[in-house]
Structure 1
């Protein structure tokens, strides 16, 4: 348990150090020349990279292992007020009843950005040595305000960070992280390119140029380029400080690249990997940004580590994980399962414009998936094919909507119930119309 806590503390300390190093230079897209903090701080600076994870920590303490995308969406509206980019769009969607994962996709031009990959550590730390479980929680988190690359980046980092509690081989960790995300996504491609350049003996400046040539984006927060810069710092860094500086010196979303690499190195090697000259300026205080409200947060990184440890006990036990944390815990020889959990596979397969809900119907517990096959918006006279899939006992199914919609059953196949929904010409400008699925006599509402 002492070694686990040491790694957790190293993770949070590295997050603070790297974020404080990169924070003042966020958005600078040119090559930088940092070798230390500039300016030298008199304490850690607030960073949304940590802020959102503090809210998720509170959600976990309130709900335990049952936390999923709906719970996190509720906590977002309750405790977060950051209006920037994907955060603001997700808040707008959630506030008008658009639920995750669609809240992260609909009208969101920032769905592939760094707001999700920066908050992977909490899931790794509460699911140590369980990369699939960490990636599942990361998906539930990321889909609240992201789609595609934003989600994949968080899953990638959460998986490798979880495995880093028991594996210290860098290449093996990168392989494992890639196993959790689609091989053809841009994030996976950017990571592979970075590794290929390192293996070929390229210098880090050349690697940066090649990454930008193939994966560069005009938006400095686009995820693949920044994830590649984080990996670049890890591969080319001569030590923790040099690695963080190289990642940040690539420019772009510098607080994110520095903070994420700092957390990985602190988790792998413990807090002692950071020299005192890097630790002393930031201290142990948890500094919270202005956008966090109505949420109890730890006051120090030590307290944050203690709260994390308490949650890990509960989450590992509830998920029947192959590892437990205790005084006699021995992780020697533990085999890390690098496969995707079935629940994660289902979510990824049905991610686009699909909602999921559990219902206790008359014939037994049932999972209802409703596929909208497009954005959750219809113009007057427009129609859309809706797919309903049940997992559980065979039951009657009926789609219901308000009087402004006409619903025509279309049969189905392979366990899918299909119908066509058409918006009336007089649908009006009402901002929200609810759909409901009647399953075995039990109503299952979808906003």
Structure 2
């Protein structure tokens, strides 16, 4: 895909390709999340005992249904919402995306504390009014504590400075979809937003690296090239060693024979940011297709939904929505919401000036994505 820069216009084929990759990334991540949701806390031995020698081969019930998503997809959706609203709010002369993302994550936090949406708060926008999102799906402690008050964590003064849980990585794929941004800015924005909940350098840098890899894929790189570019960026950052080593271990595992659960488990369990990134990257690298990669990513004793989500984000961004297994798409919880959000994001990135400007804007668009940070 040729990416327009500056004031260049998007061609129709480029818009279609970009929308397919956005849909693929968001739906792919959600499918991986849902495949792993029912076995998130099980050992590999338990998975094999319960589901047979091949482990999980389809959705298994979680949270009362098949195809249920977890907090990984919930927070990813609010990342998308925050990025759209940051671009809309730029018309006001206010341009500080971390503030808009913090407001979006705080809206997610409300879904974990309230019974349902407050219809009086029009400034919350449409996503926060989706009643089905008001459900706790094993949210991470650092995400909840980091967003539990109004102070926004920053790189200089992060929330939970000792935490490097995978809650940063599993929500950061949408930063990579900012296809018109320079790679360094994509990396930095993901880092700054990770600091709002997880302040350990590895927690922040793994999020930045993941966003950078997705960004490379959407811009047309193959996965290995995108990883190499992310490694170059990482090398300039203090405290990068754990994240760099995790990515290099994923690359090294590719050369260790046929993909198998034991190789996945050699990379860790996925509870920490660098391990979730490493496992997701490895499974995407060796994937024969979307189905093979996602099942490899969830059949291990660890944080199966997060590693499945990371792998799905990567494969979806690489191959687009047509690579997604149709039966899994059809049964996925929240599919309609995810598709609407993906298409809105693609439209904002490619046709934003036609939707809003300092002088004239679509009232429908501003109702969906208010300019306030409420």
Instruction: Tell me the alpha carbon deviations over residues 243-278 of structure 1, each in whole angstroms, 9 at most, x when there is no partner.
Output: 111111123111111112112111211122123232
Match of 1:193 in 2: 249
Distance 1:59 1:276 in 2: 29
Do the aligned partners of residues 193 and 202 (structure 1) sit closer, same or farther apart at CA in structure 2, a change above 3 Å counting? farther
Q: Going by fraction, where is helix more abundant, 1 or 2?
A: 2
What TM-score does the superposition give when structure 1 sets the normalisation length? 0.59
Do the aligned partners of residues 191 and 56 (structure 1) sit closer, same or farther apart at CA in structure 2, a change above 3 Å counting? closer
Distance 1:14 1:270 in 2: 9
Instruction: Tell me the alpha carbon deviations over residues 316-355 of structure 1, each in whole angstroms, 9 at most, x when there is no partner.
Output: 9xxxxxxxxxxxxxxxxxxxxxxxxxxxxxxxxxxxxxxx
Which has the higher Rg, Structure 1 or Structure 2?
1
Alignment of 1:176-325 (within 5 A): 176-182=229-235, 184-201=240-257, 203-212=259-268, 221-282=271-332, 285-286=334-335, 300-313=337-350
Distance 1:30 1:102 in 2: 39
- 1:280 partner SS: helix
In structure 2, list runs of 5 or more residues that go unmatched.
1-14, 48-54, 113-138, 354-374
Q: Is the 8 A contact 1:129 1:164 kept in 2?
A: no
Alpha-carbon RMSD across the aligned residues, in angstroms, is: 3.0
Distance 1:36 1:131 in 2: 36
- 2:44 partner SS: coil
Distance 1:142 1:248 in 2: 24
Match of 1:442 in 2: none
Counterpart selection for 1:48 from 71, 87, 92: 71
1:37 equivalent to 2:47? Answer no
What TM-score does the superposition give when structure 2 sets the normalisation length? 0.69
Q: Going by fraction, where is strand more abundant, 1 or 2?
A: 1
Distance 2:207 2:24 in 1: 19
Counterpart selection for 2:30 from 5, 9, 16: 16
Match of 1:161 in 2: 214
Counterpart selection for 2:185 from 125, 128, 133: 133
Counterpart selection for 1:72 from 85, 101, 109: 101
Distance 1:194 1:10 in 2: 23
1:3 equivalent to 2:33? Answer no
Distance 1:79 1:236 in 2: 34
Q: Is the 8 A contact 1:155 1:180 kept in 2?
A: no
Of the two structures, which has the highest relative contact order with CA contacts closer than 8 Å and spacing of 6 or more?
A: 2
Distance 1:268 1:103 in 2: 35
Match of 1:383 in 2: none
- 2:69 partner SS: coil
Distance 1:112 1:23 in 2: 21
Do the aligned partners of residues 143 and 280 (structure 1) sit closer, same or farther apart at CA in structure 2, a change above 3 Å counting? same
Match of 1:296 in 2: none
Distance 2:68 2:197 in 1: 24
Q: Is the 8 A contact 2:188 2:208 kept in 1?
A: yes
Counterpart selection for 2:158 from 101, 104, 108: 104
Q: Is the 8 A contact 2:76 2:174 kept in 1?
A: yes
Q: Is the 8 A contact 2:44 2:300 kept in 1?
A: yes
Distance 1:172 1:251 in 2: 29
- 1:199 partner SS: coil
In structure 1, list runs of 5 or more residues that go unmatched.
287-298, 317-447
Q: Is the 8 A contact 1:120 1:154 kept in 2?
A: yes
- 1:180 partner SS: helix
Compute the displacement of 1:226 (Å): 1.9
